[in-house]
Chains A and B, each alone.
Chain A
Amino acid sequence: MNYMILSMIVGIALWTILLTLIVFKLKKRIEILGKMLVHGIRKSYIKALEARKPRRKRYIVFEVISDETITASELNHTLREEAEKLLGILGLSDITLKLIDFDEKLKRGIIRTDNYSKYIVLALLGLIRNIGNKKVLLIPLKTTGTIKKARQLIRST
């Protein structure tokens, strides 16, 4: 008898977890369906909304090629300056751009951005040819989704 009650409780718990998961997975779709019914929004618009990817963090690992020593503050300043020149203040406010880490010995660094502004940041790296009066070339090595992997990549040869 006890065994039956226990198995019923376990069964109900499992079903509850499963239903919660399904509801969470379909939450956005249910919301969109609600909007469609209430406001009468077009189906194509809803499809476009569904196709839109969420904003995710991206870490670009890069290497500086230069004969002279480059400091992190110099690099950070140049990145901001060039981005402002290229995109303007409004454009700069739309993108995510932050120098996370820069190893002055290995001349490698990490820039945090997101999946939407990744190509803008990559183009920006290509357009930077001078830091102060020093000639440089910034080569992207890899783009990762986690900072842990990015830090590993800096140390790897």
Chain B
Amino acid sequence: MNDEEYGPRILRPLDEEPDAPSRVDVAAAVVAGSRSRRRRRVAATAAAAAAGLAIASVPVVISQAGQTTPDAAGRPSASAKPSPSPKQQYDRTMDVAFPTSCTGEALPVPGGGQSHASALDPTGRYATYRTYVDGRQPIIWHDGTITKVGTPGDDDGLYSINSNGVAVGIVWKGTGPVAIAAEGAKSAQLPGGKGREARAINDHGVIVGGSFDEDAPLRWASRTSQPEKLPLPKGATRAMAYDIDTDGTIVGYVETGAAGAPSGADPAKPSPSAGGTPGAEGTKVRADGARGGRIAYVWPAKGPGRVLERPTAPGVTIDYYDARGISNGWVVGFAAAVGDDRATYGVRWDLNTGKAELLPGLEWSNGINQYGWIAGMTEDNHAALTDGKRVLRLPDVFAFDKQYGMNWAEAVSDDGRTLIGNVDDADRDGLQQAVVWRCS
């Protein structure tokens, strides 16, 4: 039996309608779409104003929300006050200027085709991406020289790389992922790596990640250590560790069950001494659990884990937020608001104060560096670097595809001079291309 006969036969039993009533809301699409279109018009005007510059550079204030005080309406989020932070744990001295212009170029793609960039190390000298010739081929880029890691696989990728050039990620083996670490052309399975994903590695070689089902966040003390499960607040049904700071602080998210979680004997209850938000956090887990929502979570190097402050702004109620990256005590994440158009925001926390700050102009907030600068995408779908006040739009590298075009930055180096990300290539029908930007 050939493919043409076997395919329809074997799949036919799946030929069925969705097993739940539709929740698609056409009116909401009109509302959200109109909003997005208005933003595009504004962005187009800004772009037109900047036209004539060889390199796009559009500094604009995007965030006032961070300066507003949470209202005291009795909502759980509003009751959580930033900690007095007796000691400034992280250095906030800034010794470099925010860049004003960048140039970009595609990362090399042996054999051609699509590519996708994932990670950059703090020095900006190492990056990881993958190509799509005969499968997913992970590649390590080091100062312009590339090394293929292993052979092409079904869904292999390197999600993080440190300043020593050690990367972590997954290879897809048969039924699921296997967590790996890679150095040079070679990769090796992490102990206990089957069915697990390695998401980040810091400069001390400590690795974090979790199970494929996202129900057990994990920490590997080294490439050769067995993983340990990170403690979860009671009632947590899902959780993942996304990133680890140089000092060992881990960030990610937890989700709690619909029945609500008891907080009295919570082993991971808030720690007022850890620079977070004391007092109401146990309650917050429970309150959020009632909605089954996602909450950003931090596991300090020492001491119990805690919930990160729920971001808020006038007229905005966030019911879903997580933490994706951390650098020097700056945490970047994502938040979704209650409302008809389900608006989404970038979020930044400063662990010195525990305060959350919404970044409304940022549709995606992916990577963060030691100064709290964020690599992401603006609402008009262009890659950008922002320090929370200024936004530097990164050049598109390839012509911006009007139908599917969306270019975004994934990561930024500690000095803010190197970024990696992905751009749509209009010449190839919107397929993605990994790029590196140099800024000054």
A and B interact: no
Q: Which residues of B contact A (CB under 8 A)?
A: none
Q: Which residues of A contact B (CB under 8 A)?
A: none
